[in-house]
Structure 1
Amino acid sequence: MPKSDAVPTGGDPRRRIPRTDALLARPEVAAAAAAMGDRVVRDVVRAAQDRARIGQMAPEQVLDAVLEALGDRTASSLRPVLNATGVIVHTNLGRAPLSAAARDALQDAAGYTDVEFDLATGTRSRRGAGARAALLAACPAAEDALVVNNGAAALLLATTALAAGREVLWSRGELVEIGAGFRLAELVASAGARVREVGTTNRTHASDYREACAAATGREIGAILKVHTSNYRIEGFTSEVGIAELAEIAHQHQLPLIADLGSGLLRPESALPAEPDASAALEAGADVILTSGDKLLGGPQAGILLGRAEVIARLARHPLARAVRADKLALAALEATLAGPVPPVLAALRTDPDVLRERTDRLAARLGGRTVAHDGRVGGGGGAEVPLPGWAVALEPALAGPLRLGRPAVVATLREDACLLDLRCVPEEDDEALAEAVEAARGGSR
Structure 2
Amino acid sequence: MPDRRSAATDSRRAVPRTDAVLADPRLATAAARLGGRLVKEAVTAAQARCRAGDLEPGEVADAALAALPEAATSLHRVVNATGVVVHTNLGRAPLSAAAREAVALAAGPTDVELDLATGRRGPGGAGALAALAAAVPDAGAVHVVNNGAAALALVTLGLAAGRNVVLSRGEMVEIGDGFRIPELLESVGATLREVGTTNRVRLADYAAAVDGATAFVLKVHPSNFVVSGFTSTVPVRELAGLPVPVVADIGSGLLAPHPLLPGEPDAATALREGAALVTASGDKLLGGPQAGLLLGRADLVQALRRHPLARALRVDKLTLAALEATLTGPTAPVRAALEADTAALRRRAGALAGLLADVGADARASVAAVGGGGAPGVELPSAAVTLPVPFAEALRRGRPAVVGRVERDRLLLDLRTVPPEQDEELLAAVRAAAAALAGA
TM-score (norm. length: structure 1): 0.94
The aligned counterpart of 1:231 is 224
Aligned counterpart for 1:93 among listed residues 59, 71, 90: 90
Tell me, yes or no, if the aligned pair for 1:264 and 1:275 is still in contact at 8 Å: no
The structural deviation recorded for 1:205 is 0.8
1:10/1:299 CA distance change after superposition, 3 Å = closer
Structure 2 unaligned residues grouped into runs of 5+: 1-6
Tell me, yes or no, if the aligned pair for 1:177 and 1:184 is still in contact at 8 Å: yes
Identity percentage of aligned residues: 57
The aligned counterpart of 1:213 is 210
Tell me, yes or no, if the aligned pair for 2:168 and 2:196 is still in contact at 8 Å: yes
The AA in structure 2 aligned to 1:117 is L
> Are 2:76 and 1:79 equivalent residues in the alignment?
yes
Aligned counterpart for 2:150 among listed residues 145, 153, 156: 153
Tell me, yes or no, if the aligned pair for 1:397 and 1:416 is still in contact at 8 Å: no
The aligned counterpart of 2:431 is 439
The aligned counterpart of 1:346 is 335
Tell me, yes or no, if the aligned pair for 1:141 and 1:283 is still in contact at 8 Å: yes
Distance 1:296 1:73 in 2: 29
- Residues 28-39 of structure 1 mapped to structure 2, 5 A cutoff: 28-39=26-37
The structural deviation recorded for 1:77 is 1.2
The aligned counterpart of 2:3 is none
Report Cα offsets for 1:281-301 as digits up to 9, x if no partner.
Answer: 001111110111110001111
Aligned counterpart for 2:346 among listed residues 344, 349, 357: 357
> Are 2:52 and 1:54 equivalent residues in the alignment?
yes
List, as ranges, runs of 4+ consecutive aligned residues in structure 1 with deviation greater than 4 Å. none
SS class of match (2:417)? coil
SS class of match (1:33)? helix
The structural deviation recorded for 1:56 is 2.5
> Are 2:11 and 1:18 equivalent residues in the alignment?
no
Tell me, yes or no, if the aligned pair for 1:370 and 1:394 is still in contact at 8 Å: yes
> Are 2:410 and 1:422 equivalent residues in the alignment?
no
The structural deviation recorded for 1:213 is 1.5
Tell me, yes or no, if the aligned pair for 2:367 and 2:381 is still in contact at 8 Å: yes
Tell me, yes or no, if the aligned pair for 1:149 and 1:302 is still in contact at 8 Å: yes
RMSD of aligned Cα (Å): 1.4
SS class of match (1:332)? helix
SS class of match (1:12)? helix
- Residues 262-411 of structure 1 mapped to structure 2, 5 A cutoff: 262-368=251-357, 369-411=361-403
Distance 2:253 2:94 in 1: 17
Distance 2:372 2:173 in 1: 14
The aligned counterpart of 1:68 is 66
Tell me, yes or no, if the aligned pair for 1:223 and 1:256 is still in contact at 8 Å: yes
Tell me, yes or no, if the aligned pair for 2:42 and 2:65 is still in contact at 8 Å: no
> Are 2:111 and 1:122 equivalent residues in the alignment?
no
Structure 1 unaligned residues grouped into runs of 5+: 1-8
The structural deviation recorded for 1:272 is 0.5
SS class of match (1:390)? strand
Distance 1:133 1:352 in 2: 32
> Are 2:234 and 1:241 equivalent residues in the alignment?
yes
TM-score (norm. length: structure 2): 0.95
The structural deviation recorded for 1:73 is 3.9
Aligned counterpart for 2:170 among listed residues 162, 168, 173: 173
The AA in structure 2 aligned to 1:260 is D
1:166/1:11 CA distance change after superposition, 3 Å = closer
Q: State which drifts further: 295-304 or 34-43.
A: 34-43
Aligned counterpart for 1:261 among listed residues 220, 225, 250: 250
The structural deviation recorded for 1:10 is 10
Distance 1:10 1:435 in 2: 44
Report Cα offsets for 1:365-397 as digits up to 9, x if no partner.
Answer: 111122222111000011101100111122211
